[in-house]
Structure 1
Amino acid sequence: MSTPRFLTLPPGVRSTSIETTAGSFAALEALPVSGVPERWPALLVPGLTGSKEDFIAVLQTLAQSGRRVIAIDMRGQFETSGPDDPAAYTCAALGNDIDLLAQEISEGEPVHLVGHSFGGLVTREAVIDGRSKFASYTLMSSGPAAIVGPRERAGRAMLSELPELGMEQLWHNRMEPEALAAGVPDEIVSFLRKRLFSNSPTGMVTMTREVLSAPDRCGELTQVEVPLLVLYGEHDDGWPPSMQAEMALRLNADCVVVPGAVHSPAVEAPETTAAALIRFWNTAEARPLS
């Protein structure tokens, strides 16, 4: 569970929605101070229990590099509605949404794509299918296949509890105690509760099954001619850092380890994370497009 450090939108960041043929997606949009982007846009996709707010701390800095930056709620997450149909929440279905979003915000330009955690498993679908032109692709605290370790165990526990006990018990038995134990401020705890209860229960169950059963698609990613970055916290408790480092080698990707961060570098070390993304994006834009 990602915990945003603050919820007040910084200057230059606004709430909006992105309209696509698959529906409307709640988003946060950041623009340069001038209001005129001079570089290619970026699309940021959150993890399973996250939302667009997980990127608040980096949006202003990323936009100041001359870009329009969009963070979204995926289908069934927080302020983006979703149907009561499990088929709508597979990685393939959500990846199709990413294609549509990228095409909507691109305005004819390639898009820098970032997928955090489960968002990495979703976004790679769009990268592999080749329907959209991406300027670069960043896997942030994500992995080559199904999640392992403590978060795998938490996911399996959630699968066993959620259908029977519902969101209320999931919050009171697991998420609220974790937030309070971590010393999360009251206003953030209130936001986390509101976010959880806004999620589609069907979506939560299906996406959890997806993150627990995802196949390894690194071989397919290596066939895509797009600059790749693997970025993760040095203490990641999702996919182990060693697994992500090995994935970076397999993908021939750039690799950035964020000191002091755990599973949410954009929340835990925003300036370091934003600087790494900007550096990678600038380098990618300097390369000739294939």
Structure 2
Amino acid sequence: MIETPQGMFAALEASPVSGVVERWPALLVPGLTGSKEDFIAVLQTLAQSGRRVVAVDLRGQYETPGPDDPAAYTCAALGADIDLLAQEIGDGEPLHLVGHSFGGLVAREAVIDGRTKFASFTLLGSGPAAIAGKRAEHARKMIRDIPELGLDHVWHAGFEPEALANGVPDDIIAFLRKRLLANSPTALRYMAEQVVTMHDRTDELRQVELPTLVLYGEHDDGWSAETQSEMAGYLDAECVVVPGAAHSPSVEAPETTAAALIRFWNTAESHFTDIRPTPL
């Protein structure tokens, strides 16, 4: 658990096996129905590049508690949480920020608000505005069903059949069920509203002039590959397409994803010629 002025946040942390931290840390932010566990496959590889790497649950998500106030789950409010987490984890050093899917929209708020100095920003399977396609339909269904039917219905009517159809192992299905039901219903409902109504803030992000990476799977079904490629071009950002991956490259192609992040982070750090991290 990471303590901030806004409360406690559940986290997974990885450090170099050597115990020597040589480079700036990284903060990984999950998507709408995800959690910190979505980054397990990349955490240790990323840490072996000489960094402290932390993945968190957003407020109201899985193992991080959250209030029943809908205002706590706007992208702006959640972005303010990311500022506090980044300041706590970075402890005065610039920090690499990665946001997956809805987490990218949240992390973008923290970058734009200017309260925290970041070393770089990565949009991982995340687009410029509202999510589209089947994932948008799924989010709208959650918005309708959660208040009247509850999370248990959402699991049995949508998540469980999809997992079974995809041949997900029983132990992973058990975890996915536990995770979904542990979410704050208020959080999940209003986060879903945010992801289907978010306006485009690419112009504002461009003005920050922060090293930015747009990284996505070639078969992404949240924001199209074309949409993400166009966003990268407008931001003058580096763009990496992960072959064979869909909406969750850190799960579907962890080594390729980790390698792309490490290379990007190292390059971003080389631009900060007047700042050097201090080894612990």
- The interval holding the TM-score normalised by the smaller chain is over 0.9
Structure 2 equivalent of residue 3 of structure 1: none
SS in structure 2 of the partner of residue 284 of structure 1: helix
Structure 1 equivalent of residue 166 of structure 2: 182
Structure 2 equivalent of residue 95 of structure 1: 79
Percentage of pairs with the same residue? 72
Q: 2:152 aligns with which of 141, 148, 168?
A: 168
SS in structure 1 of the partner of residue 145 of structure 2: helix
The total of aligned residue pairs comes to 274
**One-letter amino acid of the counterpart of residue 83, structure 1:** P
Once the two structures are superposed, the pairs formed by residues 32-181 of structure 1 within 5 Å of their partners are 32-181=16-165
Once the two structures are superposed, the pairs formed by residues 163-242 of structure 1 within 5 Å of their partners are 163-242=147-226
Q: Distance in 2 between matches of 1:263 and 1:289?
A: 35
- Aligned-residue RMSD, C-alpha: 0.9
Q: What do residues 88-110 of structure 1 show as CA deviations (whole Å, max 9, x unaligned)?
A: 00000000000000000112110
SS in structure 1 of the partner of residue 63 of structure 2: coil
Q: 1:158 deviation in Å?
A: 1.6
Q: What do residues 157-182 of structure 1 show as CA deviations (whole Å, max 9, x unaligned)?
A: 22111211111111111100000110
Instruction: Report if the CA contact (8 A) 2:143-2:190 is conserved.
Output: no
SS in structure 2 of the partner of residue 232 of structure 1: strand
**One-letter amino acid of the counterpart of residue 23, structure 2:** R
**One-letter amino acid of the counterpart of residue 87, structure 1:** A
TM-aligned CA distance change 1:275 to 1:136, over 3 Å: same
Unaligned runs of 5+ in 2: 275-280
SS in structure 2 of the partner of residue 223 of structure 1: helix
1:279 aligns with 2:263: yes
Q: What do residues 40-78 of structure 1 show as CA deviations (whole Å, max 9, x unaligned)?
A: 000000000000000000000000000000000000000
Q: 1:226 deviation in Å?
A: 1.0
Q: 1:125 deviation in Å?
A: 0.4
Unaligned runs of 5+ in 1: 1-16
SS in structure 2 of the partner of residue 57 of structure 1: helix
Q: Distance in 2 between matches of 1:102 and 1:273?
A: 22
Q: Distance in 2 between matches of 1:289 and 1:214?
A: 36
SS in structure 1 of the partner of residue 208 of structure 2: coil
Q: 1:289 deviation in Å?
A: 6.3
SS in structure 2 of the partner of residue 229 of structure 1: strand
1:288 aligns with 2:280: no
Q: 1:36 deviation in Å?
A: 2.0
Q: Distance in 2 between matches of 1:86 and 1:37?
A: 39
Q: Distance in 2 between matches of 1:118 and 1:289?
A: 33
Q: Distance in 1 between matches of 2:272 and 2:75?
A: 30
Q: Distance in 2 between matches of 1:145 and 1:112?
A: 22
Structure 2 equivalent of residue 266 of structure 1: 250
Q: 1:145 deviation in Å?
A: 0.3
Q: Distance in 1 between matches of 2:39 and 2:95?
A: 17
Q: Distance in 2 between matches of 1:190 and 1:180?
A: 11
TM, length-normalised to structure 1: 0.93
SS in structure 2 of the partner of residue 215 of structure 1: coil
